[in-house]
Amino acid sequence: MAGISRRKFLTAAAGGAAVLAVDPLALVRPAALAEAAEAGFSQGVGSGQATCEGITLWTRVDGLEQSSRLRLEVARDPGFRKVVHSDRVTARARQNFTVHSRLAGLEPGEQYYYRFFTRGSDSPVGRFRTSLPADSCEPVRIGFFSCQDYEVGFYTAHAALADEDLDMVVCLGDYIYERSFTDDPVRNDPTGEDGVSEVETLAGYRDKYALYNSDPNLRRMRQNHALMAIWDDHEVEDNYAAGRPGEATEQRDLAFRRRRRNGYRAFFEHMPRIRNGTEADRIYGSLRLGGNAELFLLDQRQYRSDQPCGDQIGFANCPGAFDRDRTLLGAAQERWLKRGLTDSTATWKVVGNQVMIMALDAPATNPVNPDQWDGYKAEREELIDFIAREGIEDVSFITGDIHTFFAGQVTPSGRQPSQPQPGPPAATEFVGGSITSEGVPEAIGVDPVSTELVALLDEPTIRANNPHIEFVDTDFKGYGVLEARKEELRVDYRAVRSITRRRSPAFTLQRFRVQSGQPNVEVLGGGSP
């Protein structure tokens, strides 16, 4: 969406009480803070943390050398004839010249348009929707995605996601990748430090976000939809756990805790969300989205115990995985989640989940990946038992991380009731495929254990070994669209034909339904590529 000239707007807007009658930049300003004049907006604009009456608006300003002021406008129309908010905001040097402006007093369930500008420069025009009021029975539509390795391919999926009719979009982690994970890049990632592709410093992480946000399809998606992002591991370091580093770093130059601090700071700078002053690095929380949905967003990196037996794929029932003191969420976050699920009056409790909670076995009863909930079995059993015991209906997890489309039922063991612990399904799970990142067979194809394991991870064998999984697709890249209605949850998996070409149309890979009160995934059928 092209920027609309502020100057044309000011000269053409002769009528309408909601329109500003004078050039706002002619107003008196504090002399202590310079006003930006010519500036760029190469990373576009963004919105997030939408409530029924508020929003956080974001941009980054290029070309500044000191903290500077610029103007923000919000309107009910893309031509800005009905301006409802006008304000000066500050791009601060210590925040990498990013702007995070929190607005209140908006109308629930409405679409708004916004822009930033200086005396000589206009940002693109963004749009967002405020959330529906808690008593609304209207459907809620949420897009979700994860894992967008820049080098591996083009963001053709984001071109389609940008055009979806959605209330908001959720990124479930791996918005950036801290280093190269492919030997066959489709496009060049010029960022890196000390002669290697990996970044550890604050400047390095900032460069990564600037590179990723330079993609026009990603910018347009952020421009068109309110975005809520949670991190997984690659926003800092592959497979890290709380204060412990992962095992993939090629050349470590900084202490891990300092590196993590840099990654977290860059994440908050580049996402449309206000950092919590009392718990500065907290990302878990909930958003009420009308009467039909409440979204619970988790953090499964910052508080977790270390993976059992390292993070070796194919760990074959590592004994430590069932230790009762092992945690993925941490005690405080687990209490918060249980309390939130219990207290929620929304029909659907949608849990934004970084790593897969269903078991993934190869062969049957032999979990493959200790980095997901399979490595934290006791906590999974406790959480799903709690949901069943308390009679909490209509819980559905939406998940990223594993670069593969899955859908199925969640039991306390993660498996079918007879494999091996008893217990019927208490929730459902929808795992979205990646935007670009290599899938499970691709990712482990160079590992010494790969030959046998890859054979066990083709689609028919996955289904045979994991009967709780109703659908799997390892071939395509894309995203999910969830629609919450009073009587049912609908989920569509949308995929693209190619990520190696700059343009590729999207198609519906598969459709699903979950009826309220029945935690079972119905596969409805999909399209053909």
Mean pLDDT for each consecutive 10-residue tract of the chain (529 residues)? 33 29 30 62 97 97 93 97 97 97 97 94 96 97 98 98 98 97 93 91 98 98 98 97 87 92 98 89 97 98 91 68 90 98 98 97 87 94 97 98 96 77 85 91 53 72 93 96 98 97 96 97 85
pLDDT of residue 420: 53
Phi, psi torsion values for 409, nearest 5 degrees: -100, 150
pLDDT of residue 123: 96
> What CATH number labels 140-525?
3.60.21.70
pLDDT of residue 455: 64
Dist CA 348 CA 395 (whole Å): 6
Q: Which residues contact 435 (CB under 8 A, 6 or more apart)?
A: 145, 146, 147, 148, 155, 157, 158, 477, 478, 479, 499
Q: How far is CA 498 from CA 154, 178, 247, 439, in A?
A: 9, 24, 31, 14
Q: Which residues contact 12 (CB under 8 A, 6 or more apart)?
A: none
Q: Which CATH class is domain 6-129?
A: mainly beta
Dist CA 237 CA 509 (whole Å): 31
Matching residue, tokens 């580093």: 245
pLDDT of residue 277: 76
> 339-359 as b/e, with b when 16 or more CB fall inside 10 Å?
ebbeebebbbbbbbbbbbbbb
Q: Which residues contact 4 (CB under 8 A, 6 or more apart)?
A: 78, 79, 80, 115, 122, 125
pLDDT of residue 30: 35
Dist CA 369 CA 457 (whole Å): 12
pLDDT of residue 183: 87
- Comparing CA positions, the residue from 55, 58, 5 lying closest to residue 219 is 58
User: Hey, which residues does 508 pair with through a beta bridge?
Assistant: 494
Dist CA 112 CA 114 (whole Å): 7
pLDDT of residue 28: 31
Single pTM value for the model = 0.91
Phi, psi torsion values for 193, nearest 5 degrees: -140, 145
Q: Which amino acid is at 75?
A: A
Domain ranges in the chain are: 6-129, 140-525
pLDDT of residue 199: 96
User: Hey, which residues does 168 pair with through a beta bridge?
Assistant: 142
